[in-house]
Amino acid sequence: MHDTDEDLSQADDAAARFEQCRTIGVTASTLPTADAGDAAGPARAAGTAGSTAGVPPTGPGTAVDLREGTGEDRLPELLAELGDLVGLEGVKREVESMAKLMQLVKRRQEAGLQPPPLSRHLVFAGNPGTGKTTVARLYGRLLAALGLLTDGHLVEADRGALVGEYVGHTAPRTTAVFKRALGGVLFIDEAYSLVPAGQSTDFGQEAISTLVKLMEDHRDDVVVIAAGYPQDMERLIDSNPGLASRFTRTLRFDDYSSQDLVRIVEHQAARHEYRIGDDTAAALLDHFGSIARTERFGNGRTARQVFQQMTEHHAMRVADLSDPDADDLTVLLPADVPAVVS
């Protein structure tokens, strides 16, 4: 294969042959559409927490197929994965409770009984880096395992993916993103930006009205999760009666404690084959305890940034050793913990 950007091609009389191939569960809802360019936005790294590091990042309007087989036999595995997340104790209890409720809903339907009133759409209220996208992925996979969603994939979007720039542009743009989420979860990050503070007229209102209608038309085919800062999400829900009636449950994602942030760094270290001793863990606890929790604080993202800085400091330190042993190559020391910038 040539190291160029040109497309691969074949001779006119050549025949294609495929060996040792496998399918990856691609469905129509995960394939790009003719409107994909309209819905695309700037790439964004997905916020993950703890042992979920390494999940491929998604961008606004991008579908990620996360199916690994369906069936209720997968519920214990998925709930265990949820339980392994660092912190988020209240959120984990809420999601587990909803999973059990929806399991009962399915069994009542199979028995020919009317299901209880239930809204699967959720508001995720929390600061950046608190694991909202990670939990949204798991929620979709849980619903797929229960047979309440056909795919369980996640499509991430923001204002830029939904709102157009001129009259008549917003509704088609929003609809295109929504259709890619059919069978899965539409995760709207910073959803409050659809209702800018202090602006009475904005194309964001058209996006909301379009979403409300689509949610009604496809009530059994998709789950919508609106995420953002707690106080701003209240403004969003209050902006449209249709939203208030569809988003009846809010999950609150608290900031991580300093101990939680240390655990996230330890997860990252184990995943990348580093070791952190008690002294280093204590230094990390002091480090996170001294960071100001301002609006710029990134929670889990801050922990991952600290781990990256530690590996860089470690590399500089080990580079000066003439014959490093296994401990030198893998053990992170208190000296590798970065200083807090005030």
pLDDT, position 190 = 93
The residue among 205, 224, 253 that closes a domain is 253
H-helix segments, the chain: 36-39, 75-83, 89-110, 132-145, 159-162, 170-180, 203-217, 230-238, 241-246, 258-271, 278-289, 300-319, 326-330
Q: How far apart are CA 28 and CA 76, in angstroms?
A: 28
What pLDDT, in 10s, does the model give residues 34-53? 333 333 333 333 333 443 43
pLDDT, position 240 = 86
* 238 and 269 assigned to the same domain: no
The residue among 253, 271, 293 that closes a domain is 253
* 241 and 262 assigned to the same domain: no
* 41 and 176 assigned to the same domain: yes
Q: How far apart are CA 285 and CA 335, in angstroms?
A: 14
Number of domains comprising the chain:
2
Intervals of the chain under pLDDT 70: 1-70, 198-201, 342
pLDDT, position 18 = 47
pLDDT, position 196 = 83
SS3 content of the chain, % helix, strand, coil (to 5): 45, 10, 45
Residue 18 lies in a domain: no
CATH code, domain carrying 309:
1.10.8.60
* 150 and 102 assigned to the same domain: yes
* 34 and 89 assigned to the same domain: yes
Q: Please compute, for residue 44, the number of CA atoms within 13 A of its CA located in the half-sphere on the CB side.
A: 23
Q: How far apart are CA 157 and CA 176, in angstroms?
A: 11
pLDDT, position 160 = 92
pLDDT, position 336 = 96
pLDDT, position 61 = 57
What pLDDT, in 10s, does the model give residues 307-335? 999 999 999 999 989 999 999 999 999 99
* 86 and 169 assigned to the same domain: yes
Which residue range forms the structural domain that includes residue 90?
28-253
Q: How far apart are CA 114 and CA 217, in angstroms?
A: 20
pTM attached to this predicted model: 0.74
Residue 6 lies in a domain: no
Pairing between strand 223-228 and 185-188? parallel
The residue among 253, 274, 300 that closes a domain is 253
* 174 and 271 assigned to the same domain: no
